[in-house]
Amino acid sequence: MKINSYLITISKIIIILVIIILSTLSSKGLYASDLKVAIIDYEKVYYSYPDTKVLQEQLNTYRTNLLQNISSLQQNINEKQNYLLQNGTNLEKEEIIDKLVELIKLKNQLEIEVEKQNTKLKQKEKEFRTTINQKLREHIDKYRNENNYDIILDKSGIISSKNNFDVTDSVIKYILNK
């Protein structure tokens, strides 16, 4: 799933940043034991966020509209193919060639349209993920500030930790109450 790979990439970047921050802080006399750290399951937060569901519905509507456009082109091609199959023996050679050329052009148009619609859909999905991630980052950052955490890490990048560091449910409740 695209979102999972995106989340894993984000969590790896976050881990690298945490290592850099911790090494910088330790060189200044501040140690990891001085930090208040929390862990969240970002994927769980992501799918619990109400705006995710709303934007997902909008994305599904957009996807349905794109499919309808493609479907009408495909239907036009099917009609022309059926006409040619049913009436081919009654047509002149030149007319058959013209119909075949027209059919080939329509199939090429369909392929171009499918590619164009796929590009549009991917762009919408990217915009969707970006919007949700920006909103969630704002909420999580507010939660971090209000609860005096120095760092909140994504659980997917953590190999081992105590369960008492996991504040996922608390973050979800916080976001749902905003």
pTM for the model stands at 0.64
What pLDDT was estimated at residue 49?
A: 93
Q: Assign 152 to helix, strand or coil.
A: strand
Over residues 63-85, mean pLDDT? 85
Q: Three-state secondary structure along 51-80?
A: HHHHHHHHHHHHHHHHHHHHHHHHHHHHHH
| Residue-range domains of the chain with CATH | 2-176 (3.30.910.20)
With pLDDT > 70 as the criterion, what percentage of the chain qualifies? 88
What whole-number distance in Å separates Cα of residue 39 and Cα of residue 173?
Answer: 15
Q: What angle do CA 76, 110, 3 make, to 5 degrees?
A: 125
For the stretch 14-38, pLDDT in tens is 777 777 776 665 555 555 567 888 8
CA-atom Rg of the chain in angstroms: 27
CB 109 within 8 A of CB 73: yes
